[in-house]
Structures are given as C-alpha cells and as structure tokens.
Amino acid sequence: MALQKKGMHGSWASRWTFIMAATGSAVGLGNMWKFPYVAGSNGGGAFVLIYLLCILIIGVPVMMAEVLIGRQGRQSPINSVNDLVANSHINKAWLSIGWFGVIAGLLILSFYAVIAGWALKYIVLMATGDLQGVDGTSASSVFESVLADPIGLIFWQTVFLFFCVIVVMGGVKKGLGLAIEILMPILFVVIFLLFVFCLFNTNVLEAMKFLFSFDLSNLSGRSLLEAMGQAFFTLSIGMGAIMAYGAYMPQDASIGKTVLTVAFFDSLVAIISGIIIFSIVFSTSGLEPTAGPGLMFISLPIAFGNMTGGLLVGTLFFVLVSIAAWSSAISLLEPSVAWLMEEKNLGRVNANLLVVLVAWILGIGSVFSFNIWQNSMIFNFTFFDFLDFLTSNIMLPITGLLIAIFVGYVMSPKIINEQIGFKSSIKSIWMFLLKFIAPCAVSVVFVAGILDKFSNG
C-alpha cells in the first residue's frame, strides 16, 4: 500500500518550480509586518547581518532536513515520516513529527486566512478611495470597524479560502505548480514596481538608514533571540508545507543549492519590503514605524491616503500582500489534503473541501476574537492569540527540533547520503550544524518565547 502512495501526487515540473513554490510558502505576512520593524529596532544592519547568519546556520540546515524527509517519503508529511519510522524500526514517538507539522499547518491556515481577508478588504478600500486623505484617528476607526464586523470578516475569509481551494484542487502540476509559476513572477514584478516608485517619490534614504545603520547600541541578547526566531520561522519550517513540497521535488535537484536559493529569495523579499514600507512611512510627517497590524492597516493607509498617486500604490501594495499570503496559504493546505487522499481514498476535490471546511470553522473563532468573543479568554489569550501562541511558540519549534534530531541522529546515513549528495566536507559542516547548533538555538528560542509570553501577560 505504501508503495502505491509514493509519488501518487506527481512532482514539480522542474527544480525552479520547487524553488518558487518553497519561496512562496516562506514569503508571507511576517516578511512585511514583522521583519522590517524588528530589524530597524534592533541595530539595523547589525541585526540584518546576524539574521542572515542565523538563516545560514539554523534555518537552512533544518529546512534541508525537512525537504530530505519529504523527498525520501514521496508522500504527505505524516506518511513520509511513518514509512521512515517503520523501515528503520525505531520508536513510534517519532511519528509526531509528521502529525505536529500537518496539524500546525492547518491551525495556522485557519487564522492566517482571516488576516489575509483583511488585506483583500483593504484592496477594495484603497481602490474605491475610501482611505483618501485619512488621518490617524480615521485610519484607526476604519480598521476598528473592519474588525468589529464579523459578517464582513467571515466573507473575506471565505473569499480567500476559495482562492486557495481553486489552486490546490488542480493538483501538483496543474494547480500548485501552475499557480506558483504565475503568482511568484507577479509578486516580484509588483515588488519591483513599488520599489521603483519609492526610489523617486519617497524618503528611501531615511528608510535605509532605519534598516541598515550599523547601530551596536541597540543590539542586545534579546536581539539575538529575535534574529534566531525570525530566521527559523521565516522559512516555514515545521508546518508540514516544506516537507510536502519536498515530496514533489525532482530527484536530480540538489537539496542544498535549492534551499539556499529559497533562503536568498525569502530574505531579499523581506529586506526590499522593509525598504518599501518604511520609505512610505517616513515620507509622511507624524508617522512612527510600528510592527504588526498597526503598521499594515493603520500607518500605511495614512501614508497612502496622503501622497500623490497613493491610492493606486496602496492598492498595488495590498495586492502584493494578498499574493504573498495566498502563496503561503496554499502550502499550508496541501499537507492535509495529501494525507486525506492517501489514507481516506478521497479525491483531491473532496479532500480540499473537507480541509478548508475545518479551517473555515476554526477561523470563525479567530473572527469572533476581534468582536463578540474579544473578552472570552483561554489561559488569558483570545482564541486567535491562543492559536497563534500554540503554533508559533510551541508546535513549530518542537517540530523543527524533532526534525533536526531525527535527521541528525536517527535517520539512516545511507538515506541521507542518497538524498543530499554533498561532498564529504560540506556534508560534515551541515551535519554539525544540524546535530549541535540548530537544536540548541531552536531550544533557546522555544524556551525564551514561552517565558516572554507569560512574563508579559
């Protein structure tokens, strides 16, 4: 039966398609509303340098391990790990790697779709001129009114999930692969157009100073933790997505070179997005750089609404945000769909509809967190914040840690050699990072993240 499941979903048309798919999975809202602010507030260029170093020594080794498991298994993350555990005759506790990743991906999709729905709503608000000339009070009021409307939030959440279903229903080549080959070039074109606009119409120098000034005085132990955490989470590690995409990776493609390319594009998008966002923010008097939804849905609309051509640029910007969210969300949907097809013999259409229904129902809880359930708490968290904390601070670090230990210490060296194909010297460096550096770093981020959450609230 396992042999029949292997490769049943097909494979990417080329190594380049996998690179675009994995980049699409990695590039998301975090690149645009978290990384730029965190970098600018923690030493600028010094932080960026540490972040890129953490990408190389933590993110890339673990991502390679996740891709390796996927390509060896050629199935959903759950069944890829199942086969490796069964064939290696090891403790079944390792099966949790596949389950943790797939469940985390589904939970993230449920609230990610709600946030992506905000971006879709803001495309309409920008394009129709509703944000023309807004000030801080009115921009905040618009955002609050969006969050206070559960019916509206559910509508846009549903629209976004519908877009995801349309893509994933088409399968690996005609759905995911085709969509990625269209979406990612559009994403890069939009980024380029916005960057060119900023070069000639905004305060680019101030933005670059904020992001890249080498300020060691703002660099601290917390900055190092931020850099490690951002490097780990930005590559979509531990969500099942990269393992699922790895299962469709051509056998002759180099895992190391491919993952490094993905890391390069992901970091490039994060940095250029930061330049674009803060060029616009610093060109509007009275605006201060902020992080999270306040930056994306309040500060930027103020800037767009008060600059020449701002509504067109703002519309284009939220199209960019929506595409980034879309390319990430389809990668979160695929692992669960693949497992249902393998284990329950469901067709791709029915598997999609079932997974999206579960994500949609869970998403209702996140929608209500901003209005009718905003005072209902789970361990002092709203439903939305609880899912975010559970996945980001617990499930993803644990899954990433288990992946590093599993490949570094448990998996057969023969399988590793067949899949990696490195020269012995390079392989030794990768294994050292995977066995010793990555587990320690991820453990520190895991513990620090939990302590920080509870100490602050």
DSSP string, 132-173: TT--HHHHHHHHHHHHT-HHHHHHHHHHHHHHHHHHHTTHII
CB-based burial of residue 435 (10 Å sphere; 0-12 exposed, 13-18 middle, 19+ buried)? middle
- Name the E strands within 43-188: none
What confidence score (pLDDT) does residue 36 get?
A: 82
Q: Please provide the average confidence, as pLDDT, over all residues in the chain.
A: 91
Comparing 87-101, 119-133, 222-236, the range with the smallest average pLDDT is 222-236
Nearest to 275 by CA among 188, 209, 357: 209
Using CA atoms, how far residue 259 sits from 221, 253, 255, 339, in Å, is 28, 10, 6, 24
| DSSP 8-state assignment for residue 93 | G
Contact 60, 50 (CB under 8 A): no
Share of the chain above pLDDT 90, in %: 68
Residue 454: the pLDDT is 73
**pLDDT band of 6, cuts 50, 70, 90:** confident
Rounded Cα gap, residues 17 and 184, in angstroms: 10
Residues 365-421 pLDDT 10s? 999 999 999 999 988 899 999 999 999 989 999 999 999 999 999 998 889 988 987
The answer to whether 176 touches 17, Cβ cutoff 8 Å, is no
Q: Which pair of tokens denotes residue 313?
A: 């640029």
The residue with tokens 């972040």 is 51
Pick the CATH number of 2-455 from 3.30.1330, 1.10.287, 1.10.1060, 1.20.1740: 1.20.1740
Say if CB 55 and CB 231 are below 8 A apart: yes
What is the DSSP track for 300-326? Answer: HHHHHHTSTTHHHHHHHHHHHHHHHHH
Instruction: Name the residue among 435, 380, 432, 437 with its Cα closest to residue 410.
Output: 435
User: What's residue 291's pLDDT?
Assistant: 65
Domain ranges for the chain: 2-455
Reading the block at residue 396, the tokens are: 């993803």
Residues 229 and 257 sit within 8 Å (Cβ to Cβ): no
d(C-alpha 80, C-alpha 419), whole Å? 14
Residue 286: pLDDT band (50, 70, 90) is confident
What pLDDT score does 1 carry? Answer: 43
**347: number of CA atoms within 13 Å, CB side?**
4
pLDDT greater than 80 at residue 423: no
For the chain, what percentages of helix, strand and coil (3-state, to nearest 5) are there? 80, 0, 20
Distance, in Å, from the CA atom of 89 to the CA atom of 252, rounded to the nearest integer, reads 28
Task: Look at residue 194 and tell me whether its pLDDT is greater than 60.
Answer: yes
Q: What is the model's pLDDT at position 213?
A: 85
**Are 247 and 76 in contact, with CB atoms under 8 Å apart?**
yes
- 242-275 pLDDT tens trace: 999 999 999 989 999 999 999 999 999 989 998 9
What is the C-alpha separation between 384 and 370, in angstroms, rounded?
8
pLDDT of 219 above 50 = yes
- The answer to whether residue 4 scores a pLDDT higher than 70 is no
Q: Are 223 and 47 in contact (CB under 8 A)?
A: yes
Task: Provide the pLDDT for residue 186.
Answer: 95
> Which tokens hold the place of 169?
């229903």
Q: Which structure tokens are listed for 347?
A: 């067709």
Q: Give yes or no for residue 455 having a pLDDT over 80.
A: no
Mean pLDDT throughout 313-317? 95
Nearest-5° angle of CA 398, CA 399, CA 400? Answer: 90
Asked if pLDDT for residue 284 goes beyond 90, the answer is: no
Q: For residues 36 and 331, which has the higher predicted lDDT (pLDDT)?
A: 331
pLDDT tens sequence across 333-364:
999 999 999 999 999 999 999 999 999 999 99
Minimal CA–CA distance to 223: which of 33, 49, 349?
Answer: 49
pLDDT at position 457, please? 55
- 103-159 pLDDT, tens digit each: 999 999 999 999 999 999 999 999 999 999 999 899 999 999 999 999 999 999 999
d(CA 353, CA 384): 23
Taken as a whole, the chain contains a residue count of 457
